[in-house]
Amino acid sequence: MYGRQSFRFGPPETPEIIKQLMIANAVVFGLQLISPPSFSDLAAVRPSAVWGEGYFWQPFTYMWLHGGFMHIAMNCFALWMFGSELAMVWGKERFLRFYLMCGIGSGFVIATWPFVLLFAGVDVDGLDTHTLGASGAIYGVVLGYSLMWPDRRIALIFPPISFRAIWLIPGLLVMTIAMSGPEGGISHIGHLGGVLVGWLYLRQNGLTSGSDSSQASRTVGFKSNVLQRRLRRWRMRKKLRAVPPEKTEQRPKDRDHKGLH
């Protein structure tokens, strides 16, 4: 990631809450490896089980499970990379509340969306699909990061590009859709659910600085009205065009000339 004048890989420090969440995910993943398949079947989100069999705990438990080493490694890396500074600014309790809200909310979206399609008359085959992983919570964290520091530059090694943090969520969604291939295997609705819940939570509660550090003091807390103003200013900057000097000199003359008629 780029600061204003220097390059830095990763956050300046790792808060305890981030370490604790990573350890919790690793411990549960270890239990998965030594447990029978029924353990994951009971804990992962299955829409027909949640709303048809009363397995209402699944939207709470699915986010602690993972489908393999690369799955948990990528989620923990993103949590460390983007969640550390949020936790430093927001504080432990606020960050944990946001993380859990995004993850649990995404679980209920995953469990409910197939029934929404079914009631709309669309044929669905995902009622018995098992979904697991912390990606919904991670996408909420990435959303919070991109809104707190929208102009920060993010640099990738592969592909070798850099972009502003505000484009993190669209870029991740496009990348995961492209990587999923024709067979799928990635819960895009879970990712979108985490983003949606995170967005609604931030609109309702806003972001406020939770640290006395210089980084936090430079962070401007914003609620929904402030966020809307920031988005409007961003759109206006995109529309601005430089006016040639000769045109600026002609405008007063044109107005005076028109006033003579």
pLDDT tens-place string over residues 21-62: 999 999 999 999 999 989 999 999 999 999 999 999 999 999
The answer to whether position 85 is within a domain reads yes
Query: Which residues constitute the domain of residue 194?
Result: 16-239
- Cα–Cα distance measured from residue 166 to residue 220, given in angstroms and rounded to the nearest whole number: 16
| Token pair listed for 60 | 């709470």
Asked whether residue 55 is assigned to any structural domain, the reply reads: yes
Long-range pairs, 183-190, Cβ under 8 A, ≥24: 187/110, 187/131, 187/133, 187/135, 189/109, 189/110, 189/113, 190/106, 190/107, 190/109, 190/110, 190/131, 190/133, 190/135, 190/136
Distance CA 153, CA 164 (A): 5
User: 94: domain CATH number?
Assistant: 1.20.1540.10
6, part of any domain: no
pLDDT at 205: 81
- The answer to whether 106 touches 140, Cβ cutoff 8 Å, is yes
Q: Is 246 part of a structural domain of the chain?
A: no
Please, what is the Cα angle at 31 between 15 and 52, to 5 degrees?
100
- pLDDT on residue 235: 67
Residue 1 lies in a domain: no
Q: What is the pLDDT along the chain (261 residues), one digit of tens a residue?
A: 444 445 667 788 999 999 999 999 999 999 999 999 899 999 999 999 999 999 999 999 999 999 999 999 999 999 999 999 999 999 999 999 999 999 999 999 999 999 999 888 888 878 999 999 999 999 999 999 999 999 998 887 777 788 899 999 998 888 888 777 555 678 889 999 999 999 999 988 866 444 333 343 333 344 445 556 666 776 676 667 555 555 545 544 444 444 344
Angle CA 86–88–93, to nearest 5: 80
Domain count, the chain: 1
Q: Is residue 261 part of a domain?
A: no
Matching residue, tokens 């197939």: 114
User: Does some domain include residue 260?
Assistant: no
What does the pLDDT read at residue 126? 80
Among residues 27, 14, 15, the alpha carbon closest in space to that of 66 is found at 27
Question: How far apart (Å, rounded) are the C-alpha atoms in residues 74 and 13?
Answer: 19
In a domain, 224, yes or no: yes
What is the model's pLDDT at position 204? 85
- Concatenating the DSSP letter of every residue in 241-255 gives -PPPHHHHHHHHHHH
pTM, entire model = 0.76
Report the chain's C-alpha Rg in angstroms. Answer: 23
